Amino acid sequence: MPFFVCSVVVFAVFVLSVPLVEGDVSFWWLLVWFGGAVGAHTFPNAVATDALWEQSRATSSPLKIVGYPIVAVSKVVNVLRFLWIDLVYAVGLYLAAKSLLGVVAF
């Protein structure tokens, strides 16, 4: 759940920051920095990933279908953290917010 909540918060912050960047407002960097910092820490660490794996295996709820892919992606992200792959996710959210606002504006 924190992954989804943080992703939505970061996306909302980026949606707010894109017009500021385009409008040359002097404090745009504050929102971009906040979104990037939170976005880069959105993926769970190895301990939380292992706990999600155990909970997904133990439950009979159909929500475990969501848990398994998140565990798989988190494992890959944890291996690639030395490449700052989690920051790439934050940049991807920024680009998605920018393209959303570009589509809405036209």
Q: Give pLDDT, residue 37.
A: 92
Q: Give pLDDT, residue 104.
A: 57
Task: Round to whole Å and give the CA distance between 10 and 3.
Answer: 11
Q: Identify the residue with better confidence: 23 or 56.
A: 56
Handedness of CA 61, 62, 66, 72 (dihedral sign): positive
Q: How large is the average pLDDT for residues 65-82?
A: 87
Domain positions in the chain are 2-105
pLDDT, tens digit, 9 for 90 and up, residues 8-27: 999 999 988 888 877 777 77
* Tokens matching residue 85: 């792959």
Cβ neighbour number for residue 52 with a 10 Å cutoff: 20
pLDDT at 103 over 70: no
pLDDT band per the 50, 70, 90 thresholds, residue 86: confident
Q: Give pLDDT, residue 9.
A: 93
pLDDT band per the 50, 70, 90 thresholds, residue 92: very high
DSSP 15-33: HHHHHHHHTT-TTHHHHHH
